[in-house]
Structure 1
């Protein structure tokens, strides 16, 4: 039967559930829906008829803007987390596991992860025209960090990333390495001053 209308939340739910059980291809997702039939379809929100075919899934998913979907999911997750669960947010960049195709590297993502909730608050693809630093800035524009302590590696140490966290009402603990030589020198000088001050205080104390 042609022209059947499927609710978008139900389609996305089918894709999510199928991927969780390692049905990653469109054919596999479609077979998964048909395999479990009406009970699964009704639980996901399909109103009538069988779940979508592979071609319908393909047409539907191609129309979805990935960044808008990521932002919507991030807001949905963030709105359901307690303050304690959001106390720590980690920035990290990774290639998607299992996405490499021969010599072609898999998609690279920068993600904001709340470890206490085991939840990804948002992620952005790092393409050929950008890098993890720029992706992190874009991600901080859509992921709320107010009241959270954000951690990250040296890639995320530039001043504009720290400023974006503070502007969003958060705090940060970032690794400083050789990509920020001036900052590293300032930190080492500050720590050296503290050590010298403690040594002087110990030497002159009664």
Structure 2
């Protein structure tokens, strides 16, 4: 799947395949490397058979090669490929409801001088904890607005969406149902007006769960 990503490098900069370099970066990060220097060092400590399994035909490159790749790579292209890969590993099973959570998190260590930290909105598979999809939140957009864009990139049929009260929006809930999915949104005491509105719909006399008394009983 990585090989399907178009190579944006010039012909003179292709000593190694782009797919091999991306595979090395991903494996390095999964193994605990936190920078290009650590990725290069980790990979060179592996056996040549492992290099070949990633697609390298010669000794892997040094730090600068990985840095140049990451600076020029469009993250949206890589995320799309990883999302397809994750969906293949965690497919929806007919007749089985598969739950996924939507949540936003600020990445630690990303605060820059005169800037803001990176905030990601993610869809997480309940069963495995795997990331099904994510996007970087613009500083001017609320989570529930960005949620629509993220949900439209996913197959929702046969899935149950869970989230906190910020996602309790008519637009989101309606879209999930129309796409063949279900939702379970948690509303707590920190949003008293919304909670009161929801609870009132289940009180006697208003809720469809409580039948009105028959004329004979009255």
Q: TM-score by structure 2 length?
A: 0.77
Say which of 56, 66, 78 aligns to 2:75. 66
Residue deviations 1:15-46, cap 9 Å, x none?
11111222111111111122225222112111
Give the Cα separation in 2 of the matches to 1:5 and 1:29.
18
Say which of 70, 79, 93 aligns to 2:104. 93
Secondary structure at the aligned position of 2:104 is classed as: strand
Q: Give the C-alpha shift of residue 102 in structure 1.
A: 8.3
| Structure 2 counterparts to residues 130-141 of structure 1, below 5 A | 130-141=141-152
Could you tell me which residue of structure 1 aligns to residue 16 of structure 2?
6
Residue deviations 1:41-86, cap 9 Å, x none?
112111x222132221122122222223222211221123243587
CA RMSD, aligned part only? 3.2
Could you tell me which residue of structure 2 aligns to residue 149 of structure 1?
160
Give the Cα separation in 2 of the matches to 1:131 and 1:33.
40
Could you tell me which residue of structure 1 aligns to residue 6 of structure 2?
none
Secondary structure at the aligned position of 1:193 is classed as: coil
| Structure 2 counterparts to residues 14-33 of structure 1, below 5 A | 14-33=24-43
Tell me the number of residue pairs that the alignment of Structure 1 and Structure 2 aligns.
Answer: 200
Could you tell me whether the CA contact under 8 Å between 1:75 and 1:143 is conserved in 2?
no
Change (3 A) 1:193 1:136: same
Could you tell me whether the CA contact under 8 Å between 1:90 and 1:115 is conserved in 2?
yes
Change (3 A) 1:21 1:163: same
- Per residue, is there more helix in 1 or in 2? 1
Secondary structure at the aligned position of 2:45 is classed as: helix
Give the Cα separation in 2 of the matches to 1:24 and 1:141.
31
Give the Cα separation in 2 of the matches to 1:74 and 1:103.
32
| Structure 2 counterparts to residues 99-178 of structure 1, below 5 A | 99-100=110-111, 106-176=117-187
